[in-house]
Structure 1
Amino acid sequence: MTELNIYRFIVGIAVGGLWSAGAALISEIWRPEGRAKALAFMQTGWSGGNLLAAIFAWTILNPSDPESWRTLFIYASIPAFATLLFILFFVKESPVWLANRGYVKQTKNAGLFEIFKPEHLKVTILALLISILAMLGYWIVMTFAPSFLQNVLGIRIDQAPVFLVWTGIGGIIGYIVYGYMAESWGRVKAFAFFFFGMTIMVPVFTYTASHMPLTNGKLILTGGNVIYLGIISALLGFFTGYFSGFGAWYSELFPTSIRSTAAGFCFNFGRVGSIAGIKLVPILLTTFSLPFSVAISIAAIAYFIAGFMVFTIRETKGTELTSGN
């Protein structure tokens, strides 16, 4: 377990840094009228990666071999190495960032603490809180839903990825739909739509799954059951499409000198805050003896609050990103 936690910690650092840089790079290159859609397509890599990992887990994990996870990790690392080579040889720096280097050298004040200055502090704190709520809800659902399905439906651990496959498919569609909605409705209303959608879908998912017909205490993965479970899983994944909005919105809220730093801080420290949700569910299950479905549905409360909080930050649709600060 210690070894696995170390690996996860290293991956978390890498993913957080790459997301910040990638979101800032695409935001500065794309035109305002297409920025949200571009970042939405970028973010499908997250859901697509989850889908690929689920497929690998379904085919590689062996319940009788506790070491099979190592083989899974080796195969899953191949796309990361391919991406590294692509970036090194084909991706160029943003013209906006290149033009802004002179400003940064002259002022010498751009950095992490810059985002806490009075002119940025309110937006930084609000954006951070929204990230915390959004990711608290997300990680509660994605961490405990497979265990929930095993507990309630009696499916095996190697069958649980059927949930992740369907949520991955739904997530890819949701990410893209968010991009188009953000260009049409604006960032704030699109976020609210997806947050309130998750508020509804989390309890709908747990209720529907817990009332599926069982055979001798287990769900038989017939074609009909897979499709039925797949539909509610895909709908749940669809409303996680709000993830594709963080890149555009956060990038448009801050000037070039701190864009990547601010977006990375608000997004990635939201991931740190989500640890509370992962710790909370076991307490609700053991100490308070809540049903599994109720404990997971706590995520809906976080989404409900986030849906209202997005209206406390300004709309940025159509913002032109330049090297000026």
Structure 2
Amino acid sequence: MAIEKAATLGKAPPAAEDTSLLGFYADMNVGERRTFWNCAAGWALDGMDFLIYPLVIGTVMALWNITAGQAGLVATATLLASAVGGWLAGYLADRIGRVLTLQITIVWFSFFSLLCAFVQDYNQLLIVRTLLGLGFGGEWAVGAILMGEMVRPQYRGRAVGSVQSGWAVGWGAAVLLQAICFSIFPAEVAWRYMFAVGALPAVLIFFVRRYVEEPEIAATSRARRAQSGDHPALTEIFTGPYLRTTLLASFMMCGAQGSYYAMSTWVPRFLTTERGLTLVGSTGYLATLIVGSFVGYLTGAWLADRIGRRKLFLTFSLGAIAMILLYMKAPLPTGAFWLLGLPLGFFSTGFFSGIGPFLTELFPTRLRGSGQGFCYNFGRGMGALFPALVGVMADHTSLANAITVFAVAAYAIFFLTAFAFPETRGKVLDAEA
């Protein structure tokens, strides 16, 4: 009777489980572990590729004599394109499969990352980074769905959240790459080498991903739809009972994405212009931010299963607001920012570990790709406006003021919309849904 009741409520029946952070990993088979590591590597490459541009933004501005607003527009255009790419990739994942769609996105963004190394002016960079965004947006969405469908409900938060920590690894790789390239080559060409190197591992990951299997629940659902001819429409997530969920989740993701991109795009520039650090000298300060982010991702992954998705979102968004205000506005010596990077990175990104499993649990299997792909990447698209807005505002006030205004506003949106959703922890996914 208890099992039937749990199933009726869409929750996993009570079972003994390992509550440690990596408890899920011991229960995985070889195929599941292969999926885990490949998704983590893919997100690391996503992070490295995107964050190369914020690290070279000052060099590009000086080289081509462009304004902060123009420089921010490149980041914004990349993210706007990723919103479209993520939605389309999610829809394709529902139609042709998760794994095949993932391979397509990897090839796409690796090619355009390499092309960035050869652009000759601002307009070319803007176009190529915009095209890169189409694949960049799809890779996260499909990887999150793959992991969410593969792992058991009681482990979903930790598994997907641990994969999310790959973004911090990619961020660290980008900073290390910056230190190496700008130490060896003149600034005028060092940024080109960064883009070129950033593309190579993505191509290798494409071949590895061929050995990742389609989740059974997704394959079963797609086979049933093929037999019945009941294929989901691209716009079905905006109809009937799905409309409210889609709109609220999309607005929530605007807050999550806008806050992160407002900060990550401009903090490297903030350290060099308003804190007087050199480009290479800022590496250590960014390193503490990245270490804090990595620890935040892993802690958020553990808390997503321990206290639930909703409490994770509320706690970390409040912590992020407090740390942004302290980091940007407190009259502290520059050396203090080396230490403050740890809690700033921890709170400003740790909640992302709960977003992947949360969105996976919001939509039925037949619409999961479309729903998750649209909501997360709509947030990216709207959040994409924040780097450009920060850049425009920074032309009229300090960069610290501009980052603070937009980052705090976005975290507040994320905090408020978290109240609108029920807790989804432990939800059992159904191939027939």
With structure 1 as the length reference, what TM-score do the two structures score? 0.89
Residue 80 of structure 1: which of 190, 202, 215 is its match?
202
Question: How far is the alpha carbon of 1:3 from its aligned partner?
Answer: 3.0
Residue 277 (str. 1) matches residue 412 (str. 2): no
- Return the alpha-carbon distance in structure 1 between the equivalents of residues 353 and 283 of structure 2: 23
Residue 294 (str. 1) matches residue 415 (str. 2): no
Question: How far is the alpha carbon of 1:199 from its aligned partner?
Answer: 0.9
- Return the alpha-carbon distance in structure 2 between the equivalents of residues 274 and 161 of structure 1: 26
- Return the alpha-carbon distance in structure 2 between the equivalents of residues 248 and 57 of structure 1: 32
- Return the alpha-carbon distance in structure 1 between the equivalents of residues 289 and 225 of structure 2: 42
Residue 19 of structure 1: aligned partner: 140
Residue 175 of structure 2: which of 45, 54, 69 is its match?
54
- Return the alpha-carbon distance in structure 1 between the equivalents of residues 174 and 160 of structure 2: 22
Q: How does 1:257-272 map to 2 (within 5 A)?
A: 257-272=366-381
Q: Helix, strand or coil: the match of 2:220? A: helix
Q: Helix, strand or coil: the match of 1:5? A: helix
- Return the alpha-carbon distance in structure 2 between the equivalents of residues 109 and 164 of structure 1: 46
Residue 272 of structure 2: aligned partner: 150
Q: Helix, strand or coil: the match of 2:188? A: coil
Residue 130 of structure 2: aligned partner: 9
Q: How does 1:125-140 map to 2 (within 5 A)?
A: 125-140=247-262
Change (3 A) 1:162 1:8: farther
Question: How far is the alpha carbon of 1:107 from its aligned partner?
Answer: 4.9
- Return the alpha-carbon distance in structure 2 between the equivalents of residues 232 and 104 of structure 1: 52
Residue 111 of structure 1: aligned partner: 233
Residue 413 of structure 2: aligned partner: 305
- Aligned AA for 1:9? T
Q: Helix, strand or coil: the match of 1:66? A: helix
Question: How far is the alpha carbon of 1:31 from its aligned partner?
Answer: 0.5
- Return the alpha-carbon distance in structure 2 between the equivalents of residues 131 and 2 of structure 1: 29
Residue 216 of structure 2: aligned partner: 95
Residue 316 of structure 1: aligned partner: 424
Residue 164 (str. 1) matches residue 272 (str. 2): no
1:112–1:262 Cα contact (<8 Å) kept: no
The answer for unaligned runs of 5 or more in structure 1 is: 214-224
Q: Helix, strand or coil: the match of 1:33? A: helix
Q: Helix, strand or coil: the match of 1:50? A: helix
- Aligned AA for 1:305? I
Q: Helix, strand or coil: the match of 1:319? A: coil
2:255–2:412 Cα contact (<8 Å) kept: no
Residue 242 of structure 1: which of 351, 359, 365 is its match?
351
Q: Helix, strand or coil: the match of 1:312? A: coil
Q: How many residues end up aligned between the 2 structures?
A: 308
For each residue in 1:52-72, what CA deviation from the matched residue of structure 2 results, as whole angstroms up to 9, or x when unmatched? 011101111258331211211
Question: How far is the alpha carbon of 1:157 from its aligned partner?
Answer: 2.5
RMSD: 1.8
Residue 189 (str. 1) matches residue 311 (str. 2): yes
Residue 38 of structure 1: aligned partner: 159
Q: Helix, strand or coil: the match of 1:142? A: helix
- Return the alpha-carbon distance in structure 1 between the equivalents of residues 377 and 194 of structure 2: 26
- Aligned AA for 1:270? G
With structure 2 as the length reference, what TM-score do the two structures score? 0.68
Which deviates the most, 102-111 or 77-86? 102-111
2:304–2:312 Cα contact (<8 Å) kept: yes
Residue 220 of structure 1: aligned partner: none
Question: How far is the alpha carbon of 1:295 from its aligned partner?
Answer: 1.5
Question: How far is the alpha carbon of 1:96 from its aligned partner?
Answer: 0.2
2:314–2:418 Cα contact (<8 Å) kept: yes
Question: How far is the alpha carbon of 1:6 from its aligned partner?
Answer: 3.2
Q: Helix, strand or coil: the match of 1:155? A: coil
For each residue in 1:99-120, what CA deviation from the matched residue of structure 2 results, as whole angstroms up to 9, or x when unmatched? 1013323253413201101211
Percentage identity across aligned positions? 30
Residue 229 of structure 1: aligned partner: 337
- Return the alpha-carbon distance in structure 2 between the equivalents of residues 168 and 76 of structure 1: 18
The answer for unaligned runs of 5 or more in structure 2 is: 1-121
- Return the alpha-carbon distance in structure 1 between the equivalents of residues 129 and 284 of structure 2: 23
1:28–1:322 Cα contact (<8 Å) kept: no
Question: How far is the alpha carbon of 1:211 from its aligned partner?
Answer: 2.6
- Return the alpha-carbon distance in structure 1 between the equivalents of residues 273 and 202 of structure 2: 33
